[in-house]
Amino acid sequence: MFAVRSRVLSSALRSTRLSSTPVRRASTFYNAAVAGLTDEESEFRNAVHEFAQREVAPRAAEIDKTNQSPMDLWEKLGSMGLHGITVSEAYGGLGSGYLQHTLAMEALSAASGSVALSYGAHSNLCINQIHRHGTEEQKKKYLPPLVAGTKIGALAMSEPGAGSDVVAMQLKATPKDGGYVLNGNKFWITNGPVADTLVVYAKTGEGSKGITTFIIEKGMTGFSTHQKLDKFGMRGSDTCELVFEDCFVPNENILGKVNKGAGVLMSGLDLERLVLSAAFDVAVDYVHERKQFGQPVGTFQLMQGKPPFAKRQFS
């Protein structure tokens, strides 16, 4: 199945080429034998990398300078099936696995970290959560436009006083006839300013067992976004604060079960660490290759501590 999909993907990529100039490729990046990739997997990685180098890399500096998200890329990525790599074909996805998703993240990151970050928040944190935990009605409603790239997704966990510490979460969801009323804030939300569909975590009880996941739609009464953040890095990956003021969310927008949101959250973060592991591999190579004062920076005491710490964070 994937070999057929891979050929379709390659055709889509060929149609978006900006020129016939060959792409320069790092031999280590494309050494499929060392990476242990099959022919189909290697073809997939090469195709995404070629697209990213032609469509994204030439715009990376401008994206960073203007801090503007390249909205036209979303539908192009969707036409190649990249938003729905792990989504079943019934909802418009490729029905493939996380190896392919990681390969896509690796290739896009080589062209622009900010584009890859927004892509990961959309495809992994939002789409994947709905695909894995949504009802059939939720999947049919939300996944097709998200997979196509005609709508953009986000996930909202962090708050001004709480990051991944779900116990410290302050966004409160109060039961009301037919649903819940949300009051509070979320902060540092990737894709927040442009998202149409957001997976949001809120407190419905005490402790870590009192978290529930909700699907929030742009335009819901009581839901708004504040000014986009002007960051030092990852500029062009739109980030902002979300505000909930008596925002009513119907029961049919609960993702998973009431008070079971912590499990939904952690299942997604575990897979996010897998996708982000490609960045760790690049960092490890870099500290061995980069030299200062006549020796690799990886021999310095501070740098010897950082990679192991990062490894523990996502392992």
Residue 165 lies in a domain: yes
Residue 204 lies in a domain: yes
Q: Contact 119/163 with Cβ under 8 angstroms? A: no
Six token digits for residue 192? 């927040």
- Confidence at residue 299, expressed as pLDDT on a 0 to 100 scale: 82
- Residues 66, 83, single domain; the answer is yes
- Residues 110, 185, single domain; the answer is no
- Confidence at residue 22, expressed as pLDDT on a 0 to 100 scale: 40
CB count within 10 Å of CB 180 equals 21
Range of the domain at 69: 2-148
- Residues 163, 144, single domain; the answer is no
Q: Which of 148, 166, 197 lies at the terminal end of a domain, its last residue? A: 148
- Confidence at residue 162, expressed as pLDDT on a 0 to 100 scale: 76
- Residues 14, 72, single domain; the answer is yes
Residue 171 lies in a domain: yes
- Residues 108, 242, single domain; the answer is no
- Confidence at residue 278, expressed as pLDDT on a 0 to 100 scale: 56
- Confidence at residue 264, expressed as pLDDT on a 0 to 100 scale: 84
Query: Could you identify the residue written with the tokens 């009513």?
Result: 248
- Cα–Cα nearest to 104, from 84, 129, 125: 84
Residue 61 lies in a domain: yes
Six token digits for residue 213? 């996941």
- Confidence at residue 32, expressed as pLDDT on a 0 to 100 scale: 67
- Residues 131, 21, single domain; the answer is yes
- Residue partners of 298: CB distance under 8 A and separation at least 6: 287, 288, 290, 304, 307
- Confidence at residue 314, expressed as pLDDT on a 0 to 100 scale: 54
Q: How far apart are CA 312 and CA 315, in angstroms?
A: 5
- Confidence at residue 274, expressed as pLDDT on a 0 to 100 scale: 59
Q: Which of 148, 176, 191 lies at the terminal end of a domain, its last residue? A: 148
Active-site residue, 272 included:
yes
Residue 80 lies in a domain: yes
Taking the chain (315 residues) in consecutive chunks of 10 residues, what is each chunk's mean pLDDT?
44 42 44 76 91 94 91 94 96 93 90 93 94 97 98 94 78 97 96 98 90 98 94 91 98 96 76 60 73 80 72 58
CB count within 10 Å of CB 227 equals 8
- Residues 26, 110, single domain; the answer is yes
Q: How far apart are CA 294 and CA 163, in angstroms?
A: 40
Core vs surface per residue 258-288: b (16+ CB within 10 A) or e:
bbbbbbbbeebbebbebbbbbbbeebeeebe
3-state secondary structure of 258: coil
- Residues 27, 144, single domain; the answer is yes
- Residues 115, 85, single domain; the answer is yes
- Confidence at residue 17, expressed as pLDDT on a 0 to 100 scale: 35
- Residues 255, 280, single domain; the answer is no
Residue 71 lies in a domain: yes
Cα 78 to Cα 25, 93, 151: the distances in Å are 24, 9, 10
How many CA atoms does the CB half-sphere of 266 hold within 13 Å?
A: 9
CATH code, domain carrying 57: 1.10.540.10
- Confidence at residue 3, expressed as pLDDT on a 0 to 100 scale: 39
- Residues 100, 116, single domain; the answer is yes
Q: How far apart are CA 159 and CA 169, in angstroms?
A: 7
CATH code, domain carrying 251: 2.40.110.10
Q: Which of 148, 175, 199 lies at the terminal end of a domain, its last residue? A: 148
Of the residues 43, 55, 106, 272, only one is catalytic, namely: 272
- Residues 20, 140, single domain; the answer is yes
Residue 265 lies in a domain: no
- Cα–Cα nearest to 172, from 208, 204, 216: 204
DSSP H or E segment with residue 199 = strand 197-203
Total of domains in the chain: 3
Q: How far apart are CA 90 and CA 93, in angstroms?
A: 7
Return the C-alpha torsion angle 254, 104, 235, 142, nearest 10. -20
Residue 264 lies in a domain: no
Burial bucket for residue 290 (CB in 10 Å: 0-12, 13-18, 19+): exposed
- Confidence at residue 277, expressed as pLDDT on a 0 to 100 scale: 60
- Confidence at residue 276, expressed as pLDDT on a 0 to 100 scale: 59
